[in-house]
A = this chain, B = another copy of it.
Amino acid sequence: MGGDDALLPVEPVFLKSLRDHVYGLVRDAILAGRLKGGEKLNERHLASQLGISTTPLKEALRVLESEGLVRSEPRRGIYITFNAGQAEEMMLARAALESMIARQAAKRVKDEDVALMRALIVEMRAGLETVDVLQLIALNERFHNVIHEASGCSYLRRLQGGQNIYTHAARLSVLSEERERFLAVEEHEAIANAIAAREPDLAERLMRDHVIRSGEKHLLRV
């Protein structure tokens, strides 16, 4: 079992429910590698370590299990199942879902959404000069959000969100490369053009390739 410092007790700061808080803590610990694949978790031990009872922890672990990050064997224990291979598959899942969202967006996009996308592209180009990586990350997210909104696919969006496993550090690292920043803007512009032209097939393909190419860069940083 992992060292007792892999997870620290929860502070009495109840921003949200304990179970949600704990869910985030354990999920982050798994994705950051502080809890490694194959490691065994003990519900009671973990609960007391976190300073909570087992009830909210059980609920959090059940969610993590349904997401495929851990596997629960009845009366045996909970094992971390996340590994590098799964990280790559989660990236592929994100590519599949994000490209389906782009396809739907290309079918339903409104002119005002197109205007928003184009405005963001302009901002991104400007950001290439200033090299404010934090701002580029934010612009990146806003760009994808505009497409999500335009698609009207709330379920796909939610499912896609669950496949995000990149840390802030990885994002910073990737976008610190000048070539990556340039490529990202080029690809975003191509995607925006395909959606604006109402070409679902093209938008889907460009988005898939963008997520996979960019994703492979991120996976290297882990």
Contact = CB atoms under 8 A, between A and B. Distances in A.
Contacts of A59: 58-59, 62
A154 B100 contact: no
Nearest to A92: B100
Copies of this chain, count: 2
Main DSSP-derived SS at the A contact region: helix
Given A66-B66, A67-B66, A96-B97, A89 B153 contact: yes
Contact of A96 (B58, B63, B99, B162): B99
Interface string A150-162: 0001111011001
A99 B95 CA distance: 11
A61 to B, nearest CB: 9
Contacts of A85: 155
B17 A74 contact: yes
B155 A86 contact: yes
The interface centre, meaning the residue of A65, A93, A97, A154 with most chain B CB atoms within 10 A of its CB, is: A93
B58 A159 contact: no
A90 interface: yes
Given A59-B58, A68-B155, A158-B68, A100 B90 contact: no
A120 B17 CA distance: 50
Given A63-B63, A66-B67, A93 B156 contact: yes
Given A63-B65, A96-B99, 13 more contacts: A58-B59, A59-B59, A59-B62, A62-B62, A66-B66, A66-B162, A68-B158, A85-B155, A92-B104, A93-B97, A93-B156, A93-B159, A97-B97
